[in-house]
Structure 1
Amino acid sequence: MPALASLTMGPKGTLSAAAGALSVSVTTTTLHQAWGGQQIYSNLLGLLVVSVASVTTSSAVRTRRQSELNQVRRIAEAAQRVLLRPVPAQLGPVWAACMYRAAETGAQIGGDLYEAVPTRYGVRMIVGDVRGKGLPAVRLAAAVLGAFREAVHYEDDLVEVMNHCAAALGRECAVPSAVDQDKGGEQSEDFVTALVAQVSDGFTVKVVNRGHPPPLVLRQGKVQALMPTSPMPPLGLEGFIVGPPARAESYPFAPGDRLLLYTDGVIEARNRDNDFFPLPEAMEAAPVGTPSEFIEQLHQRLIHHTHGSLADDVAILVADRLDEEAGQHEGAQLLPLLK
């Protein structure tokens, strides 16, 4: 018993198994009245030796596994910092904050993506959701984010920024992954819902939406959804585009307004009664504060709604519009960095 327990249980479990084996041995010996035989003491000595060796082995294995787990976590945290970098609190004319939670237990990154970058054209943001989970989804998210981070500095048209992301996704999907190779080279249908937004000096926000949940604007305590006039399919499903090509749409975004970009893991989160998370109501009920405090309030309400169990990855990006004077001051500070 102690030897078998050491393979799957920790030191405490192994000690419990050793105590159980000792109890069985003592009970059996007592019932058979065999305490006078030398074999009984040899068996007890052997049990003691095996128990000590099993506890020592279990402790060593546990220490090695914990060390390996810590190393994997450090690698995952480093990968997260590269793939999903923290958003600075001040970005030109906006205050910003972000949050990411992976649904998979112990995971640091997943299939959701976000980014906010100050550029010569304004602050450009992206939020997206890759179909699927696990490492294949992380690979596609990295491809889209890499294209976005490069294109935002050179393309003045927001639609072209999105087109670069679509092209990068197409190139990445054309290369079979390890998962596809395990399936005999058969590639799966991969796509990414994505939304790109731009906040410049004017009191508007430009949005290009490719099959993603619409952003929400909190204005004077009321939430408004920025619905696209011409819905477009997600990245990777360009064959389903009918009618005119995608274009950037402008919406009012005045000082004091709060913009929320999010993934469907937020609005599709369910409680035990199978009810969806009421995001607009949660936004209106959250106390007014900084973007970081606002996201923390939403996170707490989401955890309470789902009882701590998320079925999908969650990404949230919040941007508050500053007044024109504050925006110009922050823009002047960022101008040397952009050059």
Structure 2
Amino acid sequence: MPFAIVLIGLGIELSPAHFLVTGPLLTGVPALAALTMGPIGTFAAAVGALAVNVTTATMHDAWGGQQIYGNLGGLLVVSVASVTMSNAMRARRQSELDRVRRIAVAAQEVLLRPVPARLGPVRAASMYLAAEAGAQIGGDLYAAVQTRYGVRMIVGDVRGKGLPAVRAAAAVLGAFREAVHYEDDLAEVMNHCADALRREYAVPGAADQEVLLEGFVTALVAQVPDGPVVELVNRGHPPPLVLRQGKVRALTPTSPLPPLGLENLIIGPPAKAESYPFAPGDRLLLHTDGVIEARNRDNDFFPLPEAMEAVHAGTPPEFLEQLHQGLIRHAEDRLADDAAMILVDRLDDEVGEPVGAVAASSRDRRH
């Protein structure tokens, strides 16, 4: 808009209608630019208005009159004030943005706590990737806790975005962190999460079906006990992947269940945890659909199993970082959805290290 006004003023001065006074119109250009532009844009608009004034005064030989000097003086005062105001507004906006980001980081650390590097019989790492630039938290959730029953983990994905999704994620995570310590049955832990979500969406006087369809959460709860197994309860979530001897296998549930919040769709007996082999040296990846649904320009999904098999990294953080780089390259820095991942390595029961690490250490000692 400011530059359009400058062009309009220039057009008037170069047309037969140059007898119209454009000085007052051009004087307000820097002030208008300061409302929507930074200091550089405001300065450029002021220079443009000044150029029109000088050009037209020269063309029409108006330097002898008092009006041109009044216009230039007014333009100079408004320009200085506008650039100063633009600088102040920019600094204030940056300060507010920094404060909001600090609050978002603090909220993320409360809601999505970093996974400890060592949890009982496993080494672990986590990663959260926000689809929206500058975002810190969203609808994906994860947690890992060491309990007397073993290491218990959850990953989930809330339908929807924004604050309602964050509220639902907080409700599910809060119920999980409480239930994992006193419920010996993993399915009951998931039931507590479902109850918490139902209470979060509950509306006084609304029917149950209306409450349940308000929103839902796909969730996966995993437990790694002392034995060489992993137990899973899957409620409509993408199955986790196990990397064993260079090959990836999906741990697909035998009896699929609907997401949390859609309990009315469950038919048959209550859900039970399913066990799968998880021996020392295996790697288990829990993830949200933002990982496998990332697309490239050809609309191809991210090949997560193949990407896992191609990664050669020692520690879980290094493994996740290489997966992250592959995901970003595939999506060309354009994630359509948030993505969360938890990677755990099953340690050797005797020495507390992955089998591969033990073998490498033995080779180093021999050489």
Q: Same-fold call, TM > 0.5?
A: yes
State the match for 2:132 in structure 1: 104
Measured in 1, the distance between the counterparts of 2:338 and 2:351 equals 34
Distance 1:188 1:56, change over 3 A: farther
Once the two structures are TM-superposed, the CA of residue 175 in structure 1 deviates from its matched residue by 4.5
Structure 2 SS opposite 1:47: helix
1:35 to 41, 47, 63: 63
- Asked if 1:117 corresponds to 2:142, the answer is no
Measured in 1, the distance between the counterparts of 2:271 and 2:146 equals 23
- Which amino acid in 2 is paired with 1:245? P
- Asked if 1:82 corresponds to 2:82, the answer is no
Structure 2 SS opposite 1:325: coil
- Which amino acid in 1 is paired with 2:139? G
Measured in 1, the distance between the counterparts of 2:184 and 2:84 equals 65
* Runs of 4+ off more than 2 Å: 185-189
State the match for 1:170 in structure 2: 198
Measured in 2, the distance between the counterparts of 1:186 and 1:124 equals 29
Distance 1:104 1:175, change over 3 A: farther
- Which amino acid in 1 is paired with 2:215? D
Distance 1:187 1:216, change over 3 A: closer
CA RMSD of aligned residues (A): 1.5
State the match for 1:147 in structure 2: 175
1:55-94 paired onto structure 2 within 5 Å: 55-94=83-122
CA contact (8 A) 1:111 1:141 kept: yes
CA contact (8 A) 2:144 2:154 kept: yes
**Normalized against structure 2, the TM-score is what?**
0.85
CA displacement, residues 212-261 of structure 1 (integer Å, 9 cap, x when unaligned): 00000000000000010000000000000012221100000000000000
Measured in 2, the distance between the counterparts of 1:214 and 1:11 equals 52
Once the two structures are TM-superposed, the CA of residue 309 in structure 1 deviates from its matched residue by 0.8
- Which amino acid in 2 is paired with 1:258? R
**Normalized against structure 1, the TM-score is what?**
0.92
Structure 1 SS opposite 2:312: coil
State the match for 1:267 in structure 2: 292
Measured in 1, the distance between the counterparts of 2:118 and 2:212 equals 42
- Which amino acid in 2 is paired with 1:324? D
State the match for 1:333 in structure 2: none
Once the two structures are TM-superposed, the CA of residue 105 in structure 1 deviates from its matched residue by 2.4
- Which amino acid in 1 is paired with 2:168? L
Measured in 2, the distance between the counterparts of 1:30 and 1:134 equals 57
State the match for 1:181 in structure 2: none
State the match for 1:95 in structure 2: 123
Q: Which of 1 and 2 has higher RCO (CA within 8 Å, sep 6+)?
A: 1
- Asked if 1:214 corresponds to 2:275, the answer is no
State the match for 2:317 in structure 1: 292
Measured in 2, the distance between the counterparts of 1:187 and 1:18 equals 58
Structure with the greater alpha carbon radius of gyration: 2
Structure 2 SS opposite 1:208: strand
Measured in 2, the distance between the counterparts of 1:61 and 1:259 equals 49
**Higher mean C-alpha deviation, range 31-40 or range 275-284:** 31-40
CA contact (8 A) 1:221 1:284 kept: yes
Measured in 1, the distance between the counterparts of 2:230 and 2:118 equals 17
CA contact (8 A) 1:260 1:319 kept: yes
State the match for 1:134 in structure 2: 162
1:11 to 18, 33, 39: 39
2:73 to 15, 39, 45: 45
State the match for 1:237 in structure 2: 262
Measured in 1, the distance between the counterparts of 2:190 and 2:351 equals 29
Counting matched residue pairs gives 320
- Which amino acid in 2 is paired with 1:101? L
Structure 1 SS opposite 2:268: coil
- Which amino acid in 2 is paired with 1:211? G
CA contact (8 A) 1:207 1:249 kept: yes
Once the two structures are TM-superposed, the CA of residue 199 in structure 1 deviates from its matched residue by 0.4
CA contact (8 A) 2:159 2:165 kept: yes
- Which amino acid in 1 is paired with 2:313? V
CA displacement, residues 57-111 of structure 1 (integer Å, 9 cap, x when unaligned): 0001111100100000000000000000001100000000000011122210000
- Which amino acid in 1 is paired with 2:84? T
- Which amino acid in 2 is paired with 1:209? N
Measured in 2, the distance between the counterparts of 1:326 and 1:212 equals 34
Which 5+ residue runs of structure 1 have no aligned equivalent?
177-184, 329-339
The sequence identity of aligned pairs, in percent, is 78
Structure 2 SS opposite 1:66: helix
State the match for 1:223 in structure 2: 248
State the match for 2:185 in structure 1: 157
